[in-house]
Amino acid sequence: MQTTKTIIRSPQTGDAYTHIKHKSGLDILVYEMEGFCNTYAMFGTKYGSINTMFKTDADTDFCTVPEGIAHFLEHKLFENEDCDVFDLYAKTGANANAFTSFDKTCYFFSCSDHFTESLEILLSFVQSPYFTPESVAKEQGIIGQEIRMCDDDPGWRVFFNMLGGLYQKHPVRIDIAGTVESIAEITDDLLYRCYRTFYNLHNMVLAVAGNCTVEQVLEVADRLLKPCADQKLQTVFPEESLDIVRAETTEKAAVGQTMFHIGIKCAPKTGYENLKAEMESHVAMQILVGSSSPLYQELLHEGLINAQFSSEIFNGDGFFTVIIGGESHDPHAVRDRVLDAIVRAQKEGLDRELFEEYQKSIYGSLIRETNNVSAVTNALVNSHMAGYGIFDTMKVLSEMTLEDCCRFLKEEVNVTRTTLSVIEPAV
């Protein structure tokens, strides 16, 4: 396999990046940003907490692994046989970290100099796993404490209680770190199996943006990337209907004000269609409950919400949820008013003036993000793993019509598939 390079250009702004299909099997995305003094690099694998069932061409059947293993693996990769990876980055002056989400694990650094040396560290340690029974046992204790801390976090609880109210079987309803019980099942052999499966370069992407060149990145990649065969990885999820689990979940915690999440379960989508649905639903919800909407102003004036009130679209492989959340002394009243507004808009349509306002506002935010190296790098990784290009978001938004948003609201949003998650102050 030969390395190939393709220039991807935005028809809206003229900006461009280089998509390199490296001979090792890795996709490399380089966004050169002239005039910037810092550089951001991210090495990611399409492996998150929801990927607990998988098989490759070498497997006869699907393998099921304990919940939380992707996050566990991320922690362990920072320790190699000789030293801690952060000690290596300290010598180059780079600021490094990593994260595991529902559908990906990413390792990244930012730097203003010594870029090549820092990139060498990134590519080297992510490709050099080192696990022992002793180090696994030690990490189980550390992550067990992390899980307990998250269980005590009201913001975390209100979110996952909402997911638990919506999703019957999909693993998105499980904490990214797993449970104390599930991580107790993790062994060094299981970690190596998951590493070999998901950290295959054909399932990964390297994105670099800022003060860098394609030649710099390729020079390091050519030296350090270890070619591997495509394993034809398949991941599956338990069959999930659009029915919700329960209409409401209430807990008590040490909070000063009642917190809530309203979740509406929608049909999941993939690739470019998922992006379109995400943008249409985002704009539609901004029109209905954004800070310029009549409903927001009414609820604020009546003291039912405060500045924490907002909406977001939470979507990925096998899940798509519209979330409206915040703080209120009467979350049931807020839920009823929000759902009434959705039903009314499904019948009468959305406000055109607000649509144009939010369309321009979001477009402006996307333009501003092109001047932020970390935002560009994250967008490169997110879009690539989701099956579209970084410039497609701007394209979808510029081509979107009010009718598109109305159609999504009418056809995709069903208020009977709503759950309310509430965290009340403990007396």
pLDDT digits (tens, 9 = 90+) for 312-330: 999 999 999 999 999 999 9
Q: Is residue 401 domain-resident? A: yes
Task: Identify whether residues 220 and 261 lie together within a single domain.
Answer: no
CATH number at residue 421: 3.30.830.10
Task: Identify whether residues 336 and 205 lie together within a single domain.
Answer: no
**Model pLDDT, residue 271:** 95
249: confidence class by pLDDT, cuts 50, 70, 90: very high
Task: Identify whether residues 201 and 316 lie together within a single domain.
Answer: no
Choice among 67, 74, 139, 280 that is catalytic: 74
What is d(CA 184, CA 257) in angstroms, rounded to the nearest whole number? 35
Q: Is residue 241 domain-resident? A: no
21: confidence class by pLDDT, cuts 50, 70, 90: very high
What is d(CA 261, CA 310) in angstroms, rounded to the nearest whole number? 10
Task: Identify whether residues 320 and 269 lie together within a single domain.
Answer: yes
Question: 353 vs 222, 344, 392, 401, 402, CA distance in Å?
Answer: 52, 17, 24, 12, 10
Task: Identify whether residues 167 and 304 lie together within a single domain.
Answer: no
Task: Identify whether residues 253 and 400 lie together within a single domain.
Answer: yes
Single out the residue in 185, 208, 235 at which a domain terminates. Answer: 235
Single out the residue in 183, 213, 235 at which a domain terminates. Answer: 235
**Model pLDDT, residue 13:** 87
**Model pLDDT, residue 297:** 97
| Count of the separate structural domains present in the chain | 2
DSSP 105-139: EEEEEEESS-HHHHHHHHHHHHT-----HHHHHHH
| Residue range 132-158: mean pLDDT, rounded | 90
Q: How many residues does the chain have?
A: 427
Enclosing H/E stretch for 310: strand 310-316
Tokens of 291: 């800070």
Answer whether 201's CB lies under 8 Å from 45's CB.
no
Task: Identify whether residues 419 and 275 lie together within a single domain.
Answer: yes
Q: Identify whether 357 is a catalytic site residue.
A: no
**Model pLDDT, residue 363:** 94
Answer whether 86's CB lies under 8 Å from 96's CB.
yes
Q: Per-residue pLDDT tens for 22-66?
A: 999 999 999 999 999 999 999 999 999 999 999 999 888 999 999
| Residue range 281-298: mean pLDDT, rounded | 96
Q: In the chain, helix, strand, coil percent, each to 5?
A: 45, 20, 35
Task: Identify whether residues 213 and 252 lie together within a single domain.
Answer: no
Which is higher by pLDDT, 26 or 228?
26
Q: How far is CA 423 from the centre of its chain?
A: 24
Give SS3 for 32.
Answer: strand
Q: Is residue 207 domain-resident? A: yes
Q: Is residue 253 domain-resident? A: yes
242: confidence class by pLDDT, cuts 50, 70, 90: very high
What is d(CA 414, CA 189) in angstroms, rounded to the nearest whole number? 45
Question: 312 vs 88, 282, 290, 306, 360, CA distance in Å?
Answer: 38, 7, 10, 16, 18
Answer whether 421's CB lies under 8 Å from 161's CB.
yes
Q: Is residue 242 domain-resident? A: no
Q: Is residue 243 domain-resident? A: no
Q: What are phi and psi of 322, to 5 degrees?
A: -95, 125
**Model pLDDT, residue 12:** 86
**Model pLDDT, residue 149:** 86
Task: Identify whether residues 253 and 223 lie together within a single domain.
Answer: no
106: confidence class by pLDDT, cuts 50, 70, 90: very high
Domain enclosing residue 134, as ranges = 4-235
Single out the residue in 178, 206, 235 at which a domain terminates. Answer: 235
Q: Per-residue pLDDT tens for 405-422?
A: 999 999 999 999 999 999
Q: Is residue 240 domain-resident? A: no
Enclosing H/E stretch for 41: strand 39-45
**Model pLDDT, residue 39:** 97
Task: Identify whether residues 219 and 87 lie together within a single domain.
Answer: yes
Tokens of 282: 């985002």
Task: Identify whether residues 266 and 342 lie together within a single domain.
Answer: yes
| Residue range 104-110: mean pLDDT, rounded | 98
Is the confidence at residue 81, as pLDDT, over 80? no
- State the chain's mean pLDDT as an integer: 95
What is d(CA 339, CA 165) in angstroms, rounded to the nearest whole number? 17
127: confidence class by pLDDT, cuts 50, 70, 90: very high
Task: Identify whether residues 118 and 68 lie together within a single domain.
Answer: yes
